[in-house]
Amino acid sequence: VRIEDALRVAADADLDLVEVAPNAKPPVCKIMDYGKFKYETAQKERESRKNQQQTVVKEQKLRPKIDDHDYLTKKGHVIRFLQAGSKVKVTIMFRGREQSRPELGYRLLQRLGTDVADYGFVETSAKQDGRNMTMVLAPHRGAKTRAKALHPDDPRSAQDEHDDGDATGDAAPSPN
């Protein structure tokens, strides 16, 4: 169809001639209400933005010479963050002469990565950045739902599901 004919048909119908696929051979055009089309595409875009999940990056800081119990505590925090579906940035802070031994930090990050392999994977491997060495861990797909399935009677997950944010007034009044 010639462009002039298409424009005349669109004008007769009181609509617009819109080119929807300019790179196609021949270019594809539609007769439509362009204002309505723009509004609907903006609505779809807004809806898709609303449905996107924001990724939260938690950070856990360690030192290269960490005691076993402290390491287990920090590892527990990392596991909890991964189970909640958050990414975890693990930072090892070097001070003084520790900076000349980056392999200590590298080994510690490798150990942590293997210890939490059941809950997440290493997204960004260990990198030295000045005085710090960082590694990013990401949860496996569906980690949040898997954690709820493994521990259905966990009070923390039940509270997250049923918390509607309003106070019920069960708390004792303040002594002021």
Which residues of the chain does CATH 3.30.110.10 include?
57-154
Residue 145, helix vs strand vs coil: helix
With 0-12 / 13-18 / 19 or more C-beta atoms within 10 angstroms meaning exposed / middle / buried, residue 128 is: middle
pLDDT on residue 48: 86
Tell me what pLDDT residue 162 has: 45
pLDDT reported for residue 19: 87
Please give the pLDDT value at position 65.
92
Residues of the chain with pLDDT under 50: 155-170, 174
Q: Pick one of 3.30.360.10, 3.30.110.10, 3.40.50.10860, 2.70.98.10 as the CATH number of 57-154.
A: 3.30.110.10
pLDDT of the residue at 150: 56
pLDDT of residue 146: 54
CATH fold group of domain 3-39: Ubiquitin-like (UB roll) (3.10.20)
| pLDDT score for 163 | 45
**Cross-strand pairs, 30:** 18
